[in-house]
Structure 1
Amino acid sequence: MTLTQWLLNAGLLVFILASNLGTRPLTAARLAMPVVLSVFAAVVFLSNAPVVGNDVALDFVGAAAGVALGIVAGMLMRVRRGAGRRLVSTAGSAYAVLWFIVIGGRVAFAESANGWAKAAITDFSISNRITGSDAWTAAFVVMALTMVAARVLTTMVRCRVLASSAGSGTTSDSGTFIPSHASQDHNVAQELTARASFGRRP
């Protein structure tokens, strides 16, 4: 790996962890930023990607792996309502470990392809009609981009589900909103109060 590739991988890891670890508000800008960066990276790094032999098939394998890993990353991020009923996300050590494994694995593969595993990877590439290092690089870029996109989409779906469930509540006599999971208990309490009041009448 070149120094530029090392810096890109390290920068990606720092950006992902710094922008997601801990409890943070979920805003449209925060969800859109990774997608915008992914599109920019796709234009820069995939414009000259090889498309002969089984290079495209390798890209599809990378995309499938990225989608699966992105869904896992999205599920490791807790989505809930914070103060003022604002949507917030919370990511902890499991989220960080996943990204360390993914980016670290990509770096380890690149280093081994130029070292102890070079012969094995070369033989595999020849036998499966993969043109070379550029094809592998493109596949890993596709995996990274689809992982980011799938993570964002998973988070958006979870936000929509949470918003829908919270929005189907009722309103009390005092005008206070009661979420759907509490509305039934509230109605029961009102009925019991009414019965008790009726029982005290002369």
Structure 2
Amino acid sequence: MTATEWITDIILILVVFRQLREGRLDLKSFLIPLGIVAFVAYMYLDTVPTGGNDLVLIGTLMSVGAALGVAGGVCTRIRTAGEHILIKAGAVSAILWVAGMGARMAFQSWVEYGGGADDVARFSITHHISGDQAWVAAFVLMALTEVVTRLAAIFIRSRSRSRSRSHVRVRTESAPAAAFERTA
């Protein structure tokens, strides 16, 4: 792994630790992780191989990424304080995020430094996976899927939270007027 790959992977892991402290849900909450995975996709995703069982590998890892992302988004605490929506990644959300990002780093390290290249090559031949680029695409798209589904879950939950809060505010603000109309 190059220094850039290590730095990028570590930054992706640290993104969730930034959210262990409760903070305001704003545009930065979405743009920073999306920007990082967009950079990773730009740097490493040259093509999406479709030969053999490449799409099965890619789809499988994307499904794992989606499951981790949705679970992480659901396990992120969302609450309102005044007009602001606050989020905080809980322990489960952090563990899921680190597990997904860490598993990719561990796999890459095992292949490059731990003697796993031959095992992956045998697995690829046995399962009709075309080669290195299929693995790269699968892991990059897994990370992208994990980030996007996590953010989507947080966004949907925050919208429903803000809608229910504005519904309560409208009902309480209209209550005095209704009481006044009955007495008049």
Q: Equivalent residue for 2:172?
A: 171
- How many residues are aligned here? 175
Structure having the higher Rg: 1
C-alpha distance 39-108 of structure 1, shift in aligned 2 (>3 A): closer
SS at structure 2 position matched to 1:22? coil
For residues 26 and 61 of structure 1, what CA distance do their matches in structure 2 show? Answer: 31
For residues 90 and 101 of structure 2, what CA distance do their matches in structure 1 show? Answer: 17
TM-score normalised to the size of structure 1? 0.75
Deviations 1:100-142 (A, max 9, x none): 2222211221222243433332211101111222221221110
Further displaced range: 102-111 or 138-147: 102-111
Q: Equivalent residue for 1:157?
A: 156
Q: What do you get for the CA RMSD once the two structures are aligned?
A: 2.5
Asked if the contact 2:65–2:100 (Cα under 8 Å) also holds between the matched residues in 1, the reply is no
Amino acid at match of 2:150: R
Residue 49 of structure 1 and its aligned partner are, at CA, apart by: 4.2
Deviations 1:130-179 (A, max 9, x none): 12222212211100011000011000110121122222222268859xxx
Q: Equivalent residue for 2:17?
A: 17
For residues 156 and 32 of structure 1, what CA distance do their matches in structure 2 show? Answer: 12
Q: Equivalent residue for 1:191?
A: none
Q: Equivalent residue for 1:92?
A: 90
List runs of 5+ in structure 1 lacking aligned partners: 177-186, 188-202
C-alpha distance 129-163 of structure 1, shift in aligned 2 (>3 A): same
Q: Equivalent residue for 1:6?
A: 6
List runs of 5+ in structure 2 lacking aligned partners: 180-184
TM-score normalised to the size of structure 2? 0.82
For residues 39 and 2 of structure 2, what CA distance do their matches in structure 1 show? Answer: 21
Q: Higher relative CO (CA 8 A, sep ≥ 6), structure 1 or 2?
A: 2
For residues 4 and 35 of structure 2, what CA distance do their matches in structure 1 show? Answer: 21
Q: How much identity, in percent, do the aligned residues show?
A: 31
Pairwise mapping of residues 76-155 of structure 1 onto structure 2 (< 5 A)?
76-82=75-81, 84-114=82-112, 115-155=114-154
